[in-house]
Chains A and B, each alone.
Chain A
Amino acid sequence: MHIPDGFLDPITASITYLITITVLAISIYKVRGRLEERYAPIIGILAATIFVAQMLDWPIPGGTTAHFVGSALAVIIVGLYAGILIMSIVLFMQAVIFQDGGLTTLGANFLTMGIVGCVVGYLVFMLIMKKLNIKRKIFFAAFFAGWLSITLAAFTCGLEIGFSTQFEYGVSVAVPAMTIWHAILGLLEGFITGVVVEYIYSLRPDIVLSVKGEG
């Protein structure tokens, strides 16, 4: 879902940059001095986890590939604002060092995987945790958070490239294609998010901030 240079028109690229710089500034302001010192390593290792997981590009039958994105995982463990910070660092490093995602499109990529992915993941997780009373609630809350975060991030990505093309029906081609594909591939994202969050919670319930309602 990393948009390379050249796919977006200057207006879409500029608007998405503006949105992301604003959201990142708010996130940094909100998260400043908020967490205990023991969260610094967790934030670092979560960012490294997302970087490594995104390198594992799984070939899927039908000639396509999928990789774990991790926005929901990040916000469930360390909360919304620290999660947004993690995703912004990973996406920045990927673009600047590895040319994975363009520099002119960094704002757009950050909007999809950094902002939409994190906000949707966080809201879905918190909503299920508060409203539902089911067995293995943490797994299912994380599963749906992961799945929907990817699906709606892909929807946003479809809008970005749909609006950028000269092609008359750009949005009506790009949005359904991106959303449907990722709604299917996102099941894997949801499953991995569910398993990892449930496992970390079983080992160290004290470090999963969103479960504690402190994210």
Chain B
Amino acid sequence: MNFLKEKLYKKWTLILLALLLIAPLFGMLKDELGSTEPLDHVAENLGLEESGPFYELLPDYTVPAIGNPYLSTLVAGLIGFAIVLFFTYGISKLLVVKK
């Protein structure tokens, strides 16, 4: 993971980590205001009903074992961030780049 030492990627990663620190606040504000996305409004008008999910790992960006809502979303976000970053990097190394 030497690329994380490069100036551009270091700065970019720090910005993303800063965004992750405020991400839980967005979720809490949304819940407080009872806001939903346009898809939910349309689904409600059409009488569509959600089924499932069939199982839960980190449902709705939370870690069920952590009670504090801020920490729960923050930890879930950090896990997702790390998995997406390294998985996509690995796939790129395997598939996308010239050998």
Contact = CB atoms under 8 A, between A and B. Distances in A.
Interface in B73-99: 73, 76-77, 79-81, 83-89, 91-93, 95-99
Interface residues of A, number: 73
A32 interface: yes
Contacts of B53: 4-5, 99, 102-103
Interface of A is mostly: helix
Contacts of A162: 46
A11 to B, nearest CB: 15
Interface in A99-119: 99-100, 102-104
Interface residues of B, number: 63
Interface of B is mostly: helix
A33 B50 contact: no
B80 to A, nearest CB: 6
Contacts of B49: 6
A53 B83 CA distance: 15
A86 B96 CA distance: 11
A82 B91 CA distance: 11
B59 interface: yes
Nearest to A37: B97
Interface of A: 1-7, 28, 31-37, 39-41, 43-49, 51-53, 55-60, 63-67, 82, 85-86, 89-90, 93-94, 96-100, 102-104, 154, 157-158, 161-162, 164-167, 170, 173-174, 177-178, 181-182, 185, 203-204
Given A5-B53, A59-B33, A177-B42, 13 more contacts: A4-B52, A41-B89, A45-B89, A47-B85, A48-B84, A48-B85, A49-B16, A63-B35, A82-B96, A89-B84, A162-B46, A178-B38, A182-B38
